[in-house]
Chains A and B, each alone.
Chain A
Amino acid sequence: MDLFEYQGKQYFARYGIAVSAGGVAMTVDEAVAQAQLAEYPVVIKAQVQVGGRGKAGGIKLANNADEVRTHAKNILGMDIKGHIVKRVWVEHASDIAEEYYASFTLDRSAKRHLLMLSAQGGIEIEQIAVTDPTAIVKLHVNPIEGLSLDTAQRAAIDARIPEKAVSGVAAMLVKLYECFTKGDCDLAEINPLILKPNGEVHALDAKVTLDDNAAFRHPEWEEYRATEELDDRERLAREKNLQYIGLDGTVGIIANGAGLAMSTLDVVNQVGGEAANFLDIGGGANAELMTSALEVINSDTKVKSIFINIFGGITRGDEVAKGIVEAMKRVKLRAPIVIRLDGTNASEGHEIIANAGIPESQLISRPTMLEAARAAVELAGRE
């Protein structure tokens, strides 16, 4: 789960990382009230999960309530690369002497944590990586040894952080590492990490991605769920506990297993169609689950055909077939189904479907993934 900047800053603050005083606002009046609390001058920042906010006009400085009104009015509702701004973060404007970059991620090929640190912050790290790769220090941290203050200090020196900022940056890195590990982040990034004229080191931005698998030990994440930007289809799927991602095509997809679902998208694409979604129904494809899945797909008005691709391993073909037949009684579908059912008890499954008396205009069966994909794409293309 990706956090908004203001949530990331609140999360950082839990681990003692210095951030600016500020608050979140959804209306112009709220923004003015937050500015009062933060003390002028303030910065008003659009809260969207996409880069390039500044260039798009989503970050503005304000010296008084009138300026806050003007800027907040412009920014709230603004469309930044397809993301509509619903909230602004209003914080006290910081004096900036220098800007650095710091982040922790998991380096999967090394199977170690990776610190990236640079004395050149404020711009895209990818850009620095291309123009001046030596400006980024990359340091692996063994997850069972952790990051000591000594090691952090050496990293800061290696990154050519000026002497006056080294101890402040090192202390910040240790806290950020703590946030990354104990806070179960996939990514904890500060860009820019700033040095103020008074010598303080401070996080001016926050980019945090949380590991959904660790939600069980973080009850405090509950509030972040409420602000997740899901479309209606995704919200419905979440309620039904389905692994669903909305896409833009016309062929609705239901498959068992993430790999097979991805593969189904690929095959539909190969035969000239476009998938409307990714939906992994998981191992227990019973009537309940199948009904939920079909409800979610059915709520997508773009869907013109539905491709159900099931390979029975543990999942049994007869159970899946019963599920489909039962689900079709419960849900009035707007689009026809093409099913490919293979593996454990597939022939029993085909028999159940054949005996259910469903007309061919509503459900057809094809023996292989490719043939089923072709049929589904063909149906989706009909008007």
Chain B
Amino acid sequence: MAIFVNENTKVLVQGLTGGQGRFHGLRNRSYGTQVVAGVTPGKAGQDVEGIPVYDTVEAAVAATGATASFIAVPPKAAPAAILEAARAGIGFVVCITEGVPAQDEARVFATLQRDFPKTRLLGPNCPGIISPGKCNIGITAGEIAALPTRTGPNVGIVSRSGTLTYQALYELKQLKIGVSTCVGIGGDPVPGTSFVDCLAEFQSDPETHAIIMIGEIGGSAEEEAAEFITTHVTKPMSAYIAGVTAPAGRKMGHAGAIVSGGKGTAKGKMDALHIAGVKIGLNPTEACELMAQIVRGL
């Protein structure tokens, strides 16, 4: 078991003929992911190292039975690409595109909610998802992720930051702790998938025994997660929140990472999670060490 994706997930890549799409799409395939098709308007009939390219998502789905989409197109094209995938019946869409305007994200999210409730969007501006040994969609280097063990305990990871996700994967591997699934939800203002969505899935996934959450300053997603954990999550958790020392009013790289009007501080988020029973690390290493202690006790 894993969440959102597994060994049967068939992936098409929107933008496979572009630089990013080609690079990451092929890496995902060499990891073992079933990358079955590419989509680039006007390039039907071509192939990228044996992966057939179609003009539309609809045609790609009809020909290959793809169930998930990996979107690696520029910010201008990303909103339309997401909605095209949803219209073609794709159930899981991963969009790594950085720089999508917030107004577009809000409209896409509302459209998915109203017209395509069965489609789950991960991102935009996220590293993607990896279920070690089964499926890797996005830009994570597969070799830094530890495989889950048959008997467990295995850890699920959910994170708002790309590099900190890798950091956590890498540290868990050093600590010889298996990972069930690692989800990077991205740092944008309107992420398609939230902490709460992932926590709910991890809670009901029998292969996941404990959860690490990596948050950052800005917004209230971590506070909402804390509330959800209190009432719905029984699996043990550790967490780290980046940005304790970030000055107010300055965006720290991610569109979402900003402390404004005294809201969205790291301290507030850590306090909320602590009250919800989550063990808080003051840096990523500490959060993973705390997880090691948790896992040893299981």
Contact = CB atoms under 8 A, between A and B. Distances in A.
A111 B121 CA distance: 14
B242 A263 contact: yes
Interface in B245-275: 245-247, 250, 252-257, 261, 266
A287 interface: no
A259 B170 contact: no
B118 interface: no
Given A211-B101, A343-B144, A313 B253 contact: no
Nearest to B224: A109
Interface in B144-190: 144, 159-167, 170, 187, 189-190
Nearest to B100: A213
B66 interface: no
A111 B221 contact: no
B103 to A, nearest CB: 6
A258 B245 contact: no
Contact of A260 (B106, B161, B285): B161
B283 interface: yes
Contact of B283 (A181, A186, A217, A267): A267
A41 interface: no
Interface string A21-62: 000000000000000000000000000000000000000000
> Number of contact residues on B: which range applies?
35 or more
A258 B254 contact: yes
Interface stretch (B9-17, B107-115, B230-238): B107-115
Contacts of A123: none
A344 B245 contact: no
Contact of B101 (A184, A275, A343): A184
Contacts of A128: none
B114 A342 contact: no
A186 B102 contact: yes
Contact of A262 (B144, B243, B285): B243
A14 B52 CA distance: 47
A259 B164 contact: yes
B208 interface: no
A74 interface: no
B43 interface: no
Interface string B94-134: 00000111111011011100100000000000010000000
B38 interface: no
A111 B283 contact: no
Interface in A119-144: 126, 142-144
A143 B245 contact: no
Interface of B: 75-76, 99-104, 106-107, 109-111, 114, 127, 139-141, 143-144, 159-167, 170, 187, 189-190, 214, 216-217, 219-221, 224, 240, 242-247, 250, 252-257, 261, 266, 282-285
4 shortest A-B CB distances, which residue pairs?
Answer: A259-B161, A258-B253, A257-B163, A214-B101
Given A258-B253, A313-B144, 5 more contacts: A108-B190, A211-B103, A258-B187, A278-B250, A314-B141
